[in-house]
Amino acid sequence: MDKVTIELTEYTKDSIDRKSKDSVSEILVCKTSAENSWVDVTGIHDPEVIREIGEFFGIHILNQEDIMNTDQRAKLDLSENGLYIVLQMLKYEEGKISSEQVSLWLTDHCLLSFQEIPGDVFDPVRERLQNPNSKARGREVDYLAIALLDTIIDNYVHILERFGEELEAIEEDLLEHTNNHQLLTINNYKRELHFLRRSVRPVRELVIQLQKAETTYLKGLNAPFVKDLSDHIIQAVDSVELYREMLNDLMNLHQSGTNNKQNEILKVLTVFSVVFIPLTFIAGVYGTNFEHIPELAQPYGYYIFWAAEVVIGIAMLVYFKSRNWL
């Protein structure tokens, strides 16, 4: 993408104003304004922009670097100027999970959010802000920050539910029949789950730190909402662990299925060969060139031979069937 885009939302209980800004200088007014401001920055590739914003809002130099390096583990840094939070926002499309790093900087009256690319999961929050009766409008920006975290974590739970449904579909498929493609699929899900786990688990620590953080930037009033975040992320981590076990079970199930199928085929083929072995032996006996083989000279010898062969073959099949080998 080419250009950093900045969206500034200023709101009070009674009014709301959302504007797109072209340059960093235009948003600086929000710091002194009495209104609550949400500055949503999309695009983190321009160090100059980040540095400019960072300096103005007092973001620690290390957190400025964190904003720009997009493979951060979710974490919370508390400094005297504000609260820095970073975590991964996930997208799940066509069996493939991708992540986009979201950084939040929470300071007096201002919440800054930094995203990598256009498109996010924050639309429900934007709609609630538009609604004059919503609680979000009447509260400080710390409530807004929690609302954003909540949509990200709810999205985890949503993705995990789809993930779980797909695993159950695979299981049902597996119980019906086995093929090599399933192994690739299971392996693919394992990989995606590693990815998910890497994004989701650190968020639990983040939320625990958030619960402990006593700071002027997070009002005590919001404790139940942080507890709610905590409930959701614990549920997400539980699901991740559950799906890991399910995937291992699926691997075992696939292995059992494959083995059983192969063994079944080999067994049938072996039984088939075994039935013919004595038949061929008998044919061999009457192919010997002994001078005195009385059966050979009998008028119906050949037909009796055929009859014996058929009887022996059928007897063997019946026997194998009775022992459950076919």
Residue 285 Cβ, how far from a second copy at the closest point, in Å? 5
Does residue number 272 form part of the binding site for a second copy (CB under 8 A)?
yes
Q: Which of residues 232-261 bind a second copy (CB under 8 A)?
A: 234-235, 238, 242, 245-246, 249, 251-253, 255-256, 258-260
138 vs 301, beta carbon nearer a second copy: 301
Sign of CA dihedral 161, 165, 166, 170: positive
Alpha carbon 74 to chain centroid, angstroms? 17
Q: Among 55, 302, 307, 308, which residue interacts with a second copy (rule: CB under 8 A)?
A: 302
Q: Using an 8 Å Cβ cutoff, are 262 and 240 in contact? A: no
25 sits near a second copy (criterion: CB under 8 A): no
Please identify, among the stretches 18-26, 27-35, 121-129, 230-238, the one whose residues bind a second copy according to the rule CB under 8 A: 230-238
Q: Does 181 bind a second copy (CB under 8 A)?
A: no
**Choice between 118 and 224, CB closer to a second copy:** 224
193: Cβ–Cβ under 8 A, 6 or more apart, which residues? 163, 240, 243, 244, 247
The encoded tokens of residue 178 equal 């086995």
Instruction: Decide if residue 33 touches a second copy (CB under 8 A).
Output: no
Nearest distance from C-beta of residue 6 to a second copy, angstroms:
26
In degrees, rounded to 5, the angle at the alpha carbon of residue 256 between the alpha carbons of residues 255 and 259 is 85
In the complex, least distance from residue 284 CB atom to a second copy, rounded to whole angstroms: 3
Asked if 24 contacts 53 with a C-beta cutoff of 8 angstroms, the reply is yes
216 binds a second copy (CB under 8 A): no
Catalogue the long-range contacts made by 173-182 (C-beta closer than 8 Å, 24 or more residues apart): 174/250, 174/253, 174/254, 174/257, 175/253, 177/257, 178/254, 178/257, 178/258, 178/260, 178/261, 182/254
Contact present, 113 and 149 (Cβ < 8 Å): no
Which residue type is seen at 212? K
Under rule CB under 8 A, which residues in 44-73 are in contact with a second copy? 60, 62, 72-73
Q: Is 128 in the site for a second copy (CB under 8 A)?
A: no
Rounded to a whole number of angstroms, the minimum distance from the CB of residue 85 to a second copy is 13
Stretch that binds a second copy, among 2-10, 37-45, 92-100, 179-187 (CB under 8 A): 179-187
- Residue 194 contacts a second copy per CB under 8 A: yes
Q: Does 210 bind a second copy (CB under 8 A)?
A: no
Beta bridge partners of 87: 102
Q: Does residue 133 touch a second copy according to CB under 8 A?
A: no
Q: How many residues does the chain have?
A: 326
User: Closer to a second copy at the Cβ: 5 or 151?
Assistant: 151
